Amino acid sequence: MNTYNSQKRWYKDPLNKKISGVCSGLARRLDLPVWVTRLVTILMLIQFPLVIGAGYLIAHCCLESKVY
Protein backbone atom coordinates (compact mmCIF):
# COMPACT_ATOMS: atom_id res chain seq x y z
CA MET A 1 0.00 0.00 0.00
CA ASN A 2 1.35 3.40 -0.96
CA THR A 3 1.31 5.84 1.96
CA TYR A 4 2.77 8.77 0.03
CA ASN A 5 0.48 11.81 0.23
CA SER A 6 0.91 13.98 -2.87
CA GLN A 7 -1.81 16.45 -1.87
CA LYS A 8 -0.53 19.95 -1.19
CA ARG A 9 -1.85 21.87 1.79
CA TRP A 10 -2.81 25.53 1.89
CA TYR A 11 -0.94 27.57 4.48
CA LYS A 12 -0.45 31.25 5.15
CA ASP A 13 3.01 32.24 3.94
CA PRO A 14 4.56 34.59 6.52
CA LEU A 15 7.69 35.31 4.45
CA ASN A 16 5.93 36.79 1.41
CA LYS A 17 2.93 38.35 3.09
CA LYS A 18 1.49 41.81 2.49
CA ILE A 19 -1.49 41.61 4.87
CA SER A 20 -1.72 38.14 6.37
CA GLY A 21 -0.13 35.75 3.85
CA VAL A 22 -3.33 34.20 2.50
CA CYS A 23 -2.70 35.16 -1.15
CA SER A 24 0.98 34.19 -1.05
CA GLY A 25 0.10 30.82 0.47
CA LEU A 26 -2.52 30.23 -2.21
CA ALA A 27 -0.02 31.21 -4.91
CA ARG A 28 2.51 28.72 -3.53
CA ARG A 29 -0.12 25.96 -3.46
CA LEU A 30 -1.28 26.64 -7.04
CA ASP A 31 2.26 27.26 -8.38
CA LEU A 32 1.37 30.75 -9.59
CA PRO A 33 3.17 34.06 -9.19
CA VAL A 34 2.07 35.88 -6.05
CA TRP A 35 1.14 39.04 -7.97
CA VAL A 36 -1.39 37.06 -10.05
CA THR A 37 -3.26 35.79 -7.01
CA ARG A 38 -3.22 39.25 -5.42
CA LEU A 39 -4.52 40.87 -8.63
CA VAL A 40 -7.30 38.29 -8.99
CA THR A 41 -8.23 38.73 -5.32
CA ILE A 42 -8.44 42.52 -5.68
CA LEU A 43 -10.50 42.30 -8.87
CA MET A 44 -12.87 39.80 -7.28
CA LEU A 45 -13.06 41.98 -4.15
CA ILE A 46 -14.28 44.86 -6.31
CA GLN A 47 -16.97 42.68 -7.92
CA PHE A 48 -18.03 40.63 -4.86
CA PRO A 49 -16.90 42.55 -1.75
CA LEU A 50 -18.92 40.69 0.89
CA VAL A 51 -18.19 37.17 -0.32
CA ILE A 52 -14.47 37.69 -0.98
CA GLY A 53 -14.00 39.77 2.17
CA ALA A 54 -15.67 37.12 4.31
CA GLY A 55 -13.69 34.34 2.62
CA TYR A 56 -10.41 36.17 3.15
CA LEU A 57 -11.24 36.78 6.80
CA ILE A 58 -12.17 33.14 7.34
CA ALA A 59 -8.97 31.99 5.61
CA HIS A 60 -6.94 34.41 7.74
CA CYS A 61 -8.45 33.01 10.94
CA CYS A 62 -8.45 29.31 10.04
CA LEU A 63 -5.25 28.69 8.08
CA GLU A 64 -2.04 27.78 9.84
CA SER A 65 1.18 29.67 9.16
CA LYS A 66 3.80 27.69 7.30
CA VAL A 67 6.85 26.90 9.39
CA TYR A 68 10.14 26.99 7.47
pLDDT in tens, 44-60: 999 999 999 999 999 98
| Domain parsing of the chain, residue ranges | 22-62
What pTM value is reported for the model?
0.74
CB proximity list for 53: less than 8 A, separation 6 or greater: 45
pLDDT in tens, 24-37: 888 888 899 999 99
